[in-house]
Copies of this chain bind each other. A is one copy, B any other.
């Protein structure tokens, strides 16, 4: 192979730029010998179900899939009748970053709500709940929230509960896109169950990839036999059924079993906190050229930077321009982000700002 020229680097572009946690390779290799039934009838996936019940409650059912878009589309397709719709934040991944997969693969209408910080509230949703029962307006049947949000913010347990209560009062299902669910659990210092099942969430897209796994996500149905019966069929027709599922399942197990995911998330969140503290310090020195409008509640920082220094910084530490209109960038920390990477970025920023 001609891979000798590959260079090792780290940046702040995304937690899916990071590799696979070594413990997960070990876990996969530990179940590699011999045959296993394909498509989820294997021993490992059987054990996985038990593990998820421990973490999400005894009525939880877990359905491993390949990726987050797949988890979201399968979950929402299970919830919605063919004519129904989902309400979500304008910044939600399902709206902004999935290339239209929900619409194109499942015919899902998304009603989107502008939010200041990526978070929905009952108050923000209420004005959209009208023409109930009218065939002319695609009927909202689910609320989808992202935890942690695409803007690095976090729903508190109380906020999730309020949304779940509101949802159920209005006959809506509450879906949580948990691509970064472990970062949320770490930030809340709460069990998964505390801010999902016990808070009234109906189903979750559980993310493994961004916290160190190799293509391992899952739909977790928390408390519905009906949904749990639909998901296997929808997972298959949605091209999200891994044949060698033992390797997806064993990663999800390993992430949960010894708190690997939570430990990794705590680390990533801490790196972001350090970055946040550093950039806010520089912001004060910057004479208004730098600011951080939202709180940093998980593993991402979203500062506003002067446009002339963005490209220079990107050359040293690759990251994304989040909103070109206002010069907002996204710095994402991963399970493998090192303190020296954080310091390096802050030094580069200081130098670019000449403060």
Contact = CB atoms under 8 A, between A and B. Distances in A.
Interface of A: 1-3, 5-11, 13-14, 16-20, 22, 25, 27-39, 43-44, 47, 50-51, 66-70, 73, 77, 81-83, 85, 96-101, 103-109, 112, 127, 130, 135-139, 209, 214-215, 230, 232-244, 246-248, 250, 253-254, 257, 318, 324-325, 334, 336
Contact of A38 (B8, B14, B33): B14
B244 A215 contact: yes
A16 B239 contact: no
B20 A28 contact: yes
9 contacts: A7-B34, A14-B38, A19-B35, A35-B318, A66-B66, A73-B239, A83-B234, A100-B237, A101-B239
A61 to B, nearest CB: 15
Contact of A239 (B25, B50, B239, B243): B239
B35 A136 contact: no
Given A99-B236, A238-B239, A19 B32 contact: yes
A37 B107 CA distance: 29
Given A99-B138, A107-B103, A135-B233, A67 B241 contact: yes
A122 B43 CA distance: 39
Nearest to A109: B100
A37 B17 contact: yes
Contacts of A30: 3
A29 B96 CA distance: 33
A31 B2 CA distance: 12
Contacts of A137: 96-97, 99
A325 B73 CA distance: 32
A239 B66 contact: yes
A186 to B, nearest CB: 21
Given A103-B107, A136-B99, A137-B99, A18 B2 contact: no
Each complex incorporates copies of this chain amounting to 4
A103 to B, nearest CB: 4
Contacts of A37: 13, 17, 318
Given A25-B28, A99-B83, A236 B1 contact: no
A99 B74 CA distance: 14
A105 B105 contact: yes
Nearest to A127: B325
B39 A32 contact: no
A250 to B, nearest CB: 7
Contacts of A43: 3, 5-7
Nearest to A108: B103
Nearest to A179: B243
A171 to B, nearest CB: 14
A236 B67 CA distance: 11
**Which of A13, A31, A105, A135 counts the most B-chain CB atoms under 10 A from its CB?**
A135
B101 A236 contact: yes
Given A83-B104, A234-B83, A257-B1, A10 B35 contact: yes
Given A1-B250, A25-B29, A82-B233, 8 more contacts: A6-B43, A68-B243, A69-B241, A97-B136, A100-B107, A103-B107, A104-B107, A215-B243
Contacts of A247: 20, 214-215
A36 B50 contact: no
Nearest to A17: B35
Contacts of A243: 14, 16, 67-68, 209, 215
